[in-house]
Structure 1
Amino acid sequence: MDTFLPIAYVHDQFMPFTEAKISIATHALHYGTGAIGGLRGIPDPQNANQVLLFRLERHCHRLSQSARFLHYDLPSSTIKQVIVDFIQKNRPTRPFYIRPLVYTSGLGIAPRLHQVEKSLLVYGLAMDDYLSPTGVSCRISSWQRQADNSMPLRGKITAAYIASALAKTEAAESGFDEAIMLNTQGKVSEASGMNIFIVRNGQLITPGFDQDILEGITRDSVLTLAKAMGIPTIERPVDKSELYIADEVFLTGTAAKVAPVKRVENYTLPADRPITERLRTTLIAITEKREPQYQDWVDTIAFN
């Protein structure tokens, strides 16, 4: 059972999580007119009176951009201040995940974005590994990733996650851990809530933005790290068949971090994953503020 942090932010104020309620007539509940964010944080291993947040500025910027699709002008600085206050009030003592949600909070019944109130809420929960760090099994979903001309995929719009939910449940109910979704052109797009990378002949390959993927922040971090490590990287369309013969496959996301894939459909992938492991361990070191070169990726939030 999820362990939620005790304080939430809703209706422009902080209150106990158990008292944070919205109306059953809330517009976003009926029409998917919301946008989500997600941040990882850990207690500082060196100081019990503060926590470390990974790429806070970038997460706030992306959520601010997502809000624009909802016709909501919400500065990233406002989101950041709410999250900092949220951390200081909750004082988490375990690794945690923060979920900010921008949503149409009005009670109207018309599916629209104009003349309807918008709001921000934030809650959090303790979270360890979302996916097994030893490797997950994936199936190719029968559900396609939406196209950008049908939904604004540059934002984490809540309505888009119906396809992810269908794909994830389909995978789980057929004995797999995760789903890999193809786009409308039949190319590999992403997993149910994560970006995907493959390694072939020492080269790191991932679908580009033209493949209807989410602009993942962990994805961006991995590409930056790989280039700094001298690992050849390329963003290009990926065929389904490449997944079966890849030397390595892994998923990336805020919740998943870097999660190796051990099997795709009935194809078992090599157990030796040198590039995946190198990137995974380096990213962990960065989130714990043990990599001086990437200190600016980690915000230190001290408790009041």
Structure 2
Amino acid sequence: MHGFLPYVWFEGKCRPFVEAKLSIATHALHYGTAAFGGLRAIPDPSDAHQMLFFRLDRHARRLSQSAGFLNTSLSSEEILAGVEAVIKANQPRVPIYLRPLVYTSDLGIAPRLHSIETDFLIYGLELGDYLSPEGVNCRFSSWTRQEDRSLPLRGKISGAYITSSLAKTEAVKSGFDEAILMNSQGKVCEASGMNVFIVRDGVLHTPGVNQDILEGVTRASVITMARSMGYEVVERGIDKTELLLADEVFLTGTAARITPVRRIETTELASERPIMERLRHRLQAITEGRDEEFRHWVTVISTGGA
């Protein structure tokens, strides 16, 4: 069914995907009172009965913290147990993406986060490249990224993604692949679901955590990885014209991994991206468990297959 894994984690146990149903009156559906994560896993190149997850502990911790914004408790251990159950139930043999979601499962019409039931689910799908590895064309969105004073942007809160959805559709309908959102101060913030990096004169720059960005797990990994490779990384506010003058521009995210930007608006960017390519090759080696320095970033989960 459209590449979805046949079994999900729903209401405390694994069930067939087709049996996981929600009421049309579910609170989270109406008010966006949910938070989600995104997990990538690939088959272990050395053992087909194991899946390799990238930064699973960090993803679980962020989702647990996001649940706290929803006034509910969801421990990293509960998340990890659900992930393991889904892997064993599905026994995947291809690269996959898992979507864990904590949500207000109560029925009702009052927007609130108190005196309300919550639940947790996980579903998955087969996923190769989310964006073209050859690169994407971007435009600056007419929509502005929200501010942390209006909602908790350090959590992946479902309701916040209306802005991302508007920006993405605007970009695609106007002939681009992706959108670059600015924050309320007019600084570069992020793409519709990815963080932004630029390279100027051999130095990597990326919007800082004080720029209303999502604190991306892949973003943090790229920063650590780049510094270990001897590159300087500066986290700061970035002006839109800097993207147009940059030697390299690329996006990072769980689904997107590391994706180059070919063009922004009418400005063609350089086709040679040596720093990004080194980072992308290093990240691939890490996710495949071939990098000793960052082997601790990879969690191995057995599929339970024979």
Same fold (TM over 0.5): yes
* Residue correspondence of structure 1 range 161-172 to structure 2 within 5 A: 161-172=161-172
Task: Give the secondary-structure state (helix, strand or coil) at the position aligned to 1:48.
Answer: strand
8 Å CA contact 1:25–1:107 kept in 2: the answer is yes
Task: Give the secondary-structure state (helix, strand or coil) at the position aligned to 2:142.
Answer: coil
Instruction: Name 1:231's counterpart in structure 2.
Output: 231
Instruction: Name 1:18's counterpart in structure 2.
Output: 18
* Residue correspondence of structure 1 range 70-81 to structure 2 within 5 A: 70-81=70-81
* Residue correspondence of structure 1 range 192-203 to structure 2 within 5 A: 192-203=192-203
Instruction: Name 1:265's counterpart in structure 2.
Output: 265
* Residue correspondence of structure 1 range 1-304 to structure 2 within 5 A: 2-304=2-304
8 Å CA contact 2:14–2:85 kept in 1: the answer is no
8 Å CA contact 1:108–1:116 kept in 2: the answer is no
Task: Give the secondary-structure state (helix, strand or coil) at the position aligned to 1:130.
Answer: coil
Paired with 1:89 and 1:12, the residues of 2 have a C-alpha distance of 14
Following TM superposition, by how much is the alpha carbon of 1:40 offset from its aligned partner in structure 2, in angstroms? 0.3
Following TM superposition, by how much is the alpha carbon of 1:73 offset from its aligned partner in structure 2, in angstroms? 1.0
Q: Deviations over 1:19-68 (max 9, x none)?
A: 11111000000000000000000011111111111111110000000000
Following TM superposition, by how much is the alpha carbon of 1:303 offset from its aligned partner in structure 2, in angstroms? 2.1
Q: Which amino acid aligns with 1:204?
A: L
8 Å CA contact 1:251–1:258 kept in 2: the answer is yes
Task: Give the secondary-structure state (helix, strand or coil) at the position aligned to 1:15.
Answer: strand
8 Å CA contact 2:9–2:85 kept in 1: the answer is no
Paired with 1:25 and 1:212, the residues of 2 have a C-alpha distance of 32
Following TM superposition, by how much is the alpha carbon of 1:288 offset from its aligned partner in structure 2, in angstroms? 0.4
8 Å CA contact 1:189–1:211 kept in 2: the answer is yes
Q: Deviations over 1:262-288 (max 9, x none)?
A: 000000000000010000110011000
Task: Give the secondary-structure state (helix, strand or coil) at the position aligned to 1:296.
Answer: helix
The number of equivalent residue pairs is 304
Q: Which amino acid aligns with 1:56?
A: L
Gaps of 5+ in 1: none
Q: Deviations over 1:111-156 (max 9, x none)?
A: 0000110110000000000011111100000000000001100100
Following TM superposition, by how much is the alpha carbon of 1:7 offset from its aligned partner in structure 2, in angstroms? 0.1
Q: Which amino acid aligns with 2:77?
A: S
Q: Which amino acid aligns with 1:201?
A: D
8 Å CA contact 1:145–1:181 kept in 2: the answer is yes
Paired with 1:230 and 1:215, the residues of 2 have a C-alpha distance of 23
Paired with 2:209 and 2:54, the residues of 1 have a C-alpha distance of 23
TM-score scaled by length of structure 2: 0.98
Q: Which amino acid aligns with 2:198?
A: I
Paired with 2:143 and 2:93, the residues of 1 have a C-alpha distance of 39
Q: Which amino acid aligns with 1:89?
A: A
Paired with 1:13 and 1:261, the residues of 2 have a C-alpha distance of 41
Q: Deviations over 1:76-128 (max 9, x none)?
A: 11111111111111111111100000000000210000011011000000000
Paired with 1:88 and 1:139, the residues of 2 have a C-alpha distance of 42
8 Å CA contact 2:92–2:303 kept in 1: the answer is no
Task: Give the secondary-structure state (helix, strand or coil) at the position aligned to 1:18.
Answer: helix
Gaps of 5+ in 2: none
